[in-house]
Amino acid sequence: MKIFQAMMSRRRFLQASGTAGAVGATAAGITGLTGLTQAKEARASRPRGETKITKNICHQCPARCGIDVYTTDGRVHAIYGDTGNPIANGKLCPKGHLGSYFLYDPDRFKGPMKRTNPNKGRNEDPGFVPISWDEAFDTIAARLNNLRERGESHRFAHFYGRGWGASDAGLYGDFGKLYGTPNAAIGHASMCAEGSKRAKRATDGNDSYNSHDLRKTNYLLIMGASFLEAFRPYNNMMQMWGEMRSKSPKTRVTTVDVRMNPTMAASDRALYIKPATDGAFALAVAHVILTEGLWERDFVGDFTNGRNQFEAGKTLSKDAFNEKWVHGLIDWWNEELKDRTPEWAEQITTIAAKDIRQTAIEFGSTRPAMAIFERGPTGHTNGTYNGMAIHSLNALVGSLFAEGGLGYQMGPAYGALPVNSDDYLDDYARNGAWKNQPRIDMARTERWPMTSHMMQEAGPNHLKGDPYKMDTAMFYSTNPIWTAPNPKAWEEALKDVFIIDTSPFPGETAMFADIVLPESTYLERLQDSPTYPFEGWPMTALRVPAIDPIYDTKHFGDMLIEIGKRINGPTGEFYKKLDNIENVLRHRAAGFANAPGDNGVNDFESWKEKGVWYRKPYHWRQIRGEFYEWEGESYSKRMTPAEVKEKLLRTPSGKFEFKSGFLEQHADYINREMGIPKERVGYVQWVEPKHTGGNRDLYFVTPKTPMHAEGRGANIPHAISIHQPIAGGRDTVYLEVNPETAKARGIRNGDRVRITSDLGSIEAECRYVAAHRPDTLVLPFEFGHWAQGRWAKDRGPGHSGEITANVSDPISGLASYYTGKVSLERA
């Protein structure tokens, strides 16, 4: 009898899991399995097939780890780190292994659809009905052609978040130029980490994140960057941590944060800083490096008489110092730094003067040393100035382009596209009215002259009709209706815009879509992925589909090309020649023929096989104050100052600027927006932050955790169930509160609490964490979705974005996510 029952259930299981792509059914079958016997039988009954391993790139964060995807009988069943990928080195963070949950998410969109309910809102069912791809593309193209004919093509906007490379966001430039819209590429950078890029642009002239030579560094000062939770490339950071902390001499680490994160817990010294005051700390460190005579003379220069004359409070004559690769040092000292003593900084940062001095002496006397930072110091209204002060420390100790120091990421040796967009411009593309229109987000206009993107402004601007109203907007891997600060403004804004969403999953933006064009998941698509800043040498990886799309989905790049083909005039011709993404990538890979990768990759086929092209070494090196280029065997080609200015230190002076020419070019704007006297705007300096929240008494940060995948991981059940390992969050996230702070408000561990900002309130469950600053509340980001599938929707506490005001650093445009003050009470 028992045997009969077991056989029955086994048969039922096999029926349910029948191989022909019945993916959702299989998941249900597995859930239905309860006993060990059944599991064993399921294993025994698995049909034997050949296992195929394909190369791919994890999609969950910008680390871009290379993965080996294991597929047997058409089913992806395992993902491991690719041993041949220099970032992954055969390892992954826990999220990487969970990628097949995206592929087999039962809530995925199964094919293109259109909306039937004209009303949009959280509680409106969109009434999606399936349509063909042709109908979808024709509908969109008809709208775009019509806009163009009316001279209103600027009212079409493309929004993107995680752009990967030449096969997706890399196509936007040509689209904008040919079709005629300034809004062809509104990226999420200003909702991400733009502050560090702009701080670097202002000081060393490069508008980019740094590459790092972590293996060789002996001192790391980490300020508001989650090295062991988020800092890019995350998985590799964990590997580097192991190397740095086990080599001899061990890399010493001081971490400055507003809460106890794992990085701080693992460091040699933990310094709790008052939020938004990192600039003051870094200036005091710089002050001590100078007064103690610890600066790198080969890079910075020296006093003409060879004696250190930096003395607190004392101005100096410019002639007394010969600057080498820095600009404005003595002016900076006289105008700002001479008074920035550790005692001064203690008043601002709450970090004891003796700890600041000690950190400065260690940092200044250990070579090579690096100061790194990310969204902590820059997620405030004074973010760019904070970042500039921190980055100045790298110049003072000569770490730029040095062994064990910081560089800039090189791009891949890609070939040209088969067609050149310049040959396909019609009169409208060249001279149409669209040319005089600003971007909808007002980036790079008088309103935000120093920014590259201002996505968070686009929704509110549309709402005001200033500079105009959008007509149609297409979203690629971004969901600002949920991730932007004050996202409810976006819910209002997107009601009367024709929305095209490309997410494979039913996210919030998709709920407002008029047309859904579901993209294939990353395991099903062909896509390139040049590395984010890593070790500097160029690298680009490839996503090779592990299986054919299991639903009726396409690659975003192919959607863009298909829409392009349907645009009237030469634009359509251009896209017909481009044809498809594989063609694009084959032409890009042709560039490898003249620059074969270190692993032998020299064309499209070998790229597919190995999954990654890279070419070491890094091309440039600064050695004891001289810059060299690699010449086949060594860094032997000495660079002239003109070459350094053109290729590396791309500032007006061709040097690292403590008095920033870039900021001085915008003196009127900075003076108007930040109240800094015009003649002082260029200096790396302390600027008071402007917190939102009026008299509220607590800071509020929403940091990333190891299980967090930007805003797109909440539909992975395993990831969200262990999202907050430190505070013990299971299937939810807790609000982490210092017990003193909680008790003063009569809040017990585990109580339901209300967090209130200027925008309103959200509720959460309180968890005592004694290691955080008493004035700072911590609520990891990713929960509180009102869409995004069954595991994400309505789970956990309220959404932190809803109490995050939309204010930004006027210079970088980075949304000040960490700057709003809140109050806390029992709910």
Q: Which residues bind Mo ion (CB under 5 A)?
A: 192
Query: Taking Cα atoms as reference points, which of 559, 503, 500, 555 lies closest to residue 528?
Result: 555
- Residue 89 or 334: the one with the smaller Cβ distance to ligand SF4 is 89
The count of chain residues that interact with ligand SF4, using the rule CB under 6 A, is 13
Q: Give the C-alpha distances (Å, rounded to integers) separating 98 from 211, 713, 770, 801.
A: 28, 10, 32, 26
Shortest Å, Cβ 509 to ligand MGD: 6
Binding characters for ligand MGD, 356-375, by CB under 6 A (x = yes): ------------------xx
- Residue 126 or 504: the one with the smaller Cβ distance to ligand MGD is 504
Site for ligand MGD in 37-66 (CB under 6 A): 59, 61-62
Whose tokens are 């001899």? That residue is 248
545 touches ligand MGD by CB under 6 A: no
Q: Give the C-alpha distances (Å, rounded to integers) separating 599 from 16, 532, 603, 614.
A: 44, 20, 12, 7
For residue 226, give both structure tokens.
């989650």
| Segment lying near ligand SF4 (by CB under 6 A), choices 59-67, 422-430, 440-448, 683-691 | 59-67
What element of type H or E holds 571? helix 570-578
Radius of gyration of the chain (CA): 27
69 touches ligand SF4 by CB under 6 A: no
Q: Give the C-alpha distances (Å, rounded to integers) separating 164 from 66, 161, 172, 523, 529.
A: 13, 9, 12, 14, 5
Q: Kindly report the backbone phi and psi dihedral angles of residue 515, in degrees, each rounded to the nearest multiple of 5, phi listed first.
A: -135, 130
Binding characters for ligand MGD, 141-180, by CB under 6 A (x = yes): --------------------x-------------------
Contact 286/328 with Cβ under 8 angstroms?
Answer: no
For residue 498, list its beta bridge partners.
472
Contact 97/88 with Cβ under 8 angstroms?
Answer: no
Contact partner, 259, from Mo ion, ligand SF4, ligand MGD, none, Cβ < 5-8 Å per class: ligand MGD
Other C-beta atoms within 10 Å of 446: how many? 8
Residue from 23, 63, 284, 429 in contact with ligand SF4 (CB under 6 A)? 63
Residue from 152, 229, 558, 657 in contact with ligand MGD (CB under 6 A)? 229
What is the per-residue DSSP string for 502-524? --SS--HHHHT-SEE-PBPPGGG
For residue 442, give both structure tokens.
């007002």
Q: What is d(CA 604, CA 689) in angstroms, rounded to the nearest whole number?
A: 50
Site for ligand SF4 in 703-722 (CB under 6 A): 709
706 touches ligand MGD by CB under 6 A: yes
Site for ligand MGD in 244-273 (CB under 6 A): 256-259, 261, 273
527 touches ligand MGD by CB under 6 A: no
701 touches ligand MGD by CB under 6 A: yes
Contact partner, 235, from ligand MGD, ligand SF4, Mo ion, none, Cβ < 5-8 Å per class: ligand SF4
503 touches ligand MGD by CB under 6 A: yes
- Residue 58 or 222: the one with the smaller Cβ distance to ligand SF4 is 58
Query: Taking Cα atoms as reference points, which of 611, 445, 474 lies closest to residue 556?
Result: 474
What does the buried/exposed string (b/e) look like for 172-185 if buried means 16 or more CB atoms within 10 Å of the residue's CB? bebbbbbbbbbbbb
| Segment lying near ligand SF4 (by CB under 6 A), choices 60-68, 134-142, 466-474, 563-571 | 60-68
- Residue 258 or 330: the one with the smaller Cβ distance to ligand MGD is 258
93 touches ligand SF4 by CB under 6 A: yes
Q: What is d(CA 83, CA 614) in angstroms, rounded to the nearest whole number?
A: 14
Interface with ligand MGD by CB under 6 A: which residues?
A: 59, 61-62, 161, 188, 191-193, 223-226, 229-232, 234, 256-259, 261, 273, 275-276, 278, 374-377, 379-380, 476-480, 483, 502-505, 507, 509, 519, 521-522, 556, 701-704, 706, 708-712, 781, 800-801, 804, 817-818
Interface with ligand SF4 by CB under 6 A: which residues?
A: 58, 60-61, 63-65, 92-93, 95-96, 234-235, 709
